[in-house]
Amino acid sequence: MIGPVDRIFTRVGAADDLASGRSTFMVEMTETANILHNATEHSLVLMDEIGRGTSTYDGLSLAWACAENLANRIKAMTLFATHYFELTTLPEKMEGVVNVHLDALEHGDTIAFMHSVQDGAASKSYGLAVAALAGVPREVIKRARQKLRELEAISSHTATGT
């Protein structure tokens, strides 16, 4: 149960503000800064994909620091959606933080998103399946799968020190 809230803050979507000369990332960070400065322990905060508008490590670092700040300093009830798998370790480091994910079912080359919330971190990513559903050409998906395997192998070797 959430109970009464003093304010609801949202940071979702991705769009430039061309009239003001602001990039997607600047818009994202301006809205994030507003949340971090104004949310209270009685606020409800909804944040989606913080850090997506910049490099992987900058984005991951910003998402991590924002999640920590919301959990440890502000203590706001927060739903923080991310594809940064590294953030799934936060519950081990912070009290009151839990992982949930939306369920999906795969059958062959098709995928069905069930839109039901499940406990725990997601066990896999569905980016390539969604790209295929969106009509990205098969040869591009095939090459992306090859590249994904290469990147995962590099990441695995880096993590194990081999």
Q: What is the pLDDT of residue 2?
A: 73
Tell me: pLDDT of 162 over 60. no
Residues 75 and 116 in one domain: no
Tell me: pLDDT of 160 over 70. no
Range(s) of the domain holding residue 67: 1-98
H or E stretch at 76: none
Tell me: pLDDT of 107 over 90. no
- Boundary residue ending a domain (77, 98, 119): 98
pLDDT digits (tens, 9 = 90+) for 122-147: 988 889 999 999 999 999 999 999 99
* 62 touches 50 (CB < 8 A): yes
Residues 109 and 92 in one domain: no
Residues 55 and 108 in one domain: no
* 60 touches 83 (CB < 8 A): no
Residues 40 and 4 in one domain: yes
Can you say whether the dihedral through the CA atoms of 129, 134, 138, 144 is positive or negative?
Answer: negative
Q: What is the pLDDT of residue 22?
A: 84
Counted domains in the chain: 2
Residues 61 and 116 in one domain: no
Distance CA 104, CA 43 (A): 30
| 50-59 per-residue burial string, b: 16 or more CB within 10 A, e: under 16 | bbbbbeeeeb
Residues 22 and 50 in one domain: yes
Task: Decide which of 155 and 115 is more confident.
Answer: 115
Residues 110 and 93 in one domain: no
- Boundary residue ending a domain (44, 64, 98): 98
pLDDT digits (tens, 9 = 90+) for 7-43: 999 999 877 777 788 888 999 999 999 999 999 999 9
